[in-house]
């Protein structure tokens, strides 16, 4: 039976700077770093009456009974990890309602804490105005205003500050890579323009080869007549404008390479598959998202299995576009390589090349496989 609890808390979100890059170069070292983080931070959190709510990859979600305890704990954490190689933390703090159900945590204020964290400098702490106001009368703490950004997925207006006392580094606006909402007035127009540019670029070679001067009128449906060098003639891969925009947005979110954005991609793919379970593009998208999540979760076997399952279904589909089948085979190649199945990885990347040899990253993958084969 589910037990739902709601309470007011100071919410702390931490993240290891450069962890994704470290994981790609040294998975074992990245795992050991997460273990070391847990060993160092748990006693500090307990000392300040904090609760270890959630651990996702290198990120931690903590809660405290007061703003002061949350800030004091965060300051002690930064002091404790200051001289530990690769354990460079950013910390974000916010106060608000959290909902706890079956050991999982929900709530808009949890999302806000995670969005504030990127505003902190490496080794620093960023806080919302609620935290700043709670502690503004205490001379021990000094804050500096950073901005009032429109945080992505957040309806509330949030002002963000950094703590500049206790030897903490000040945030530099030029270094901040936070997720903020784009200007909504032009967002859809930009997406449509970008999509049109991609479609136009894709059809220029066919335009010159076939002499077909009416390709503008049929650009959204002509992919149905393209011969894929891997699967042969494909059936219809025509999508509505709304679906094309969703696919484009999902692809852009994959580039963010974070658990939060990755969840949005998986959710989008689930919705698309539920609407049309015969489209290989959707399985390819979800398979790539599962693979990304596996890497973000230190090589999760469950996510890796889900990825391979979806990608295998995608490449077997008759309803799939050239780019999505190429990317599916590229990701399958990565999966095989992670399991030291070099021959399968080589075959998969060769199929990706036959589908689209110009797709980004494909040459690097082939080069890496050839390097391994030659050693």
Cα(30)–Cα(25) distance, integer angstroms: 9
Of 263, 313, 317, whose CA–CA distance to 290 is shortest? 263
Mean pLDDT confidence for 277-301 = 91
- Taking 70 as the threshold, does the pLDDT of residue 246 lie above it? yes
CA distance 332 to 328: 6
* Mean pLDDT (whole number) for 271-281: 89
The pLDDT assigned to 183 comes to: 44
Alpha-helix runs per DSSP H in 211-341: 241-254, 259-275, 280-296, 301-315, 322-338
User: What gap in Å lies between CA 357 and CA 350, rounded to an integer?
Assistant: 9
Q: What percent of the chain has pLDDT over 90?
A: 39
Give the pLDDT score at 205: 45
Residue ranges of domains in the chain, CATH in brackets: 4-175 (3.30.70.1230), 220-374 (1.25.40.10)
First to last CA, the chain: 56
User: Residue range 271-289: average pLDDT?
Assistant: 91
For residue 218, is pLDDT > 60? no
The pLDDT score that the predictor gives to residue 211 is 40
Query: Across all residues in the chain, what is the average pLDDT?
Result: 81
Q: For residue 261, what is the DSSP state?
A: H
- Cα gap 196→40, rounded to integer Å: 51
Look at 77-86, 152-161, 334-343 and tell me which has the smallest mean pLDDT. Answer: 152-161
pLDDT at position 207 is 39
Quick one: pLDDT band at residue 153, thresholds 50, 70, 90?
Answer: confident
Going 185 to 275 to 258 to 64, the CA torsion angle's sign is positive
* Residue 229: predicted pLDDT: 47
- Cβ atoms of 369 and 338 within 8 Å: the answer is no
Phi, psi of 6, rounded to the nearest 5 degrees:
-125, 135
In the predicted structure, residue 42 carries a pLDDT above the cut 60: yes
pLDDT of residue 195: 54
**pLDDT value for 209:** 40
Phi, psi of 281 (to 5 degrees): -55, -40
- Rounded mean pLDDT, 9-18: 91
Provide Rg for the chain, Cα atoms: 24
Residue bearing tokens 């075959």 = 347
pTM (2 decimals)? Answer: 0.49
* Residue 299 confidence (pLDDT): 84
Least confident segment among 151-155, 163-167, 313-317: 151-155
Residue 184 has pLDDT above 60, yes or no: no
Name the band, by pLDDT with cuts 50, 70 and 90, for residue 235.
very low
Q: How does residue 214 score in pLDDT terms, banded at 50, 70 and 90?
A: very low
Give the whole-angstrom CA distance, residue 363 versus residue 236.
29
pLDDT surpasses 70 at 320: yes
**Cα separation of 33 and 29, whole Å?**
6
Is it the case that residue 160 has pLDDT exceeding 60? Answer: yes
The span from the CA of 218 to the CA of 169, in Å, is 56
* Burial profile 71-96: b = 16 or more Cβ within 10 angstroms, e = fewer: bbbbbbbbeebeeeebbbbbbbbbbb
Q: Is the pLDDT of residue 257 over 80?
A: yes
């Amino acid at each position: 039976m589910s037990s739902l609890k709601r309470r007011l808390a100071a919410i702390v979100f931490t993240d290891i700077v450069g962890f994704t890059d470290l994981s790609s170069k040294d998975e074992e070292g990245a795992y050991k770093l997460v273990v070391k983080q847990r060993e160092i931070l748990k006693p500090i959190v307990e000392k300040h009456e904090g609760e270890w709510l959630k651990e996702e990859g290198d990120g931690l979600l903590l809660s405290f009974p007061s703003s002061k305890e949350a800030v004091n704990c965060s300051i002690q954490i930064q002091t404790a990890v200051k001289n530990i190689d690769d354990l460079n933390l950013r910390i974000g703090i916010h106060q608000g309602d959290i909902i706890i159900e079956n050991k999982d945590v929900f709530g808009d204020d949890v999302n806000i804490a995670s969005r504030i964290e990127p505003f902190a400098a490496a080794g620093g702490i960023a806080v919302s105005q609620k935290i700043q106001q709670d502690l503004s009368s205490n001379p021990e703490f000094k804050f500096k205003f950073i901005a009032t950004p429109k945080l992505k997925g957040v309806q509330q207006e949030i002002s963000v500050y950094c703590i500049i006392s206790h030897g903490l580094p000040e945030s530099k606006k030029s270094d901040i890579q936070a997720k903020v909402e784009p200007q909504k007035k032009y967002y859809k127009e930009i997406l449509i323009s970008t999509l049109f540019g991609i479609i136009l670029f894709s059809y220029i070679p066919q335009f010159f080869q076939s002499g077909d001067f009416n390709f503008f009128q049929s650009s959204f449906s002509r992919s149905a007549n393209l011969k894929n060098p891997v699967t042969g003639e494909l059936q219809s891969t025509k999508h509505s404008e709304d679906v094309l925009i969703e696919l484009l947005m999902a692809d852009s979110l994959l580039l963010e390479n974070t658990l939060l954005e990755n969840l949005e991609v998986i959710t989008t793919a689930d919705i698309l598959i539920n609407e049309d379970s015969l489209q290989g593009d959707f399985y390819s998208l979800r398979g790539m998202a599962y693979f990304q999540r596996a890497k973000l979760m230190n090589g999760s076997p469950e996510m890796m299995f889900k990825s391979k399952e979806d990608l295998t279904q995608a490449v077997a589909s008759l309803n799939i576009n050239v780019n999505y089948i190429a990317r599916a085979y590229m990701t399958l190649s990565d999966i095989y390589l992670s399991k030291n199945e070099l021959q399968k990885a080589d075959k998969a990347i060769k199929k990706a090349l036959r589908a689209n040899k110009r797709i980004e990253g494909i040459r690097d993958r082939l080069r890496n496989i050839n390097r391994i084969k030659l050693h």
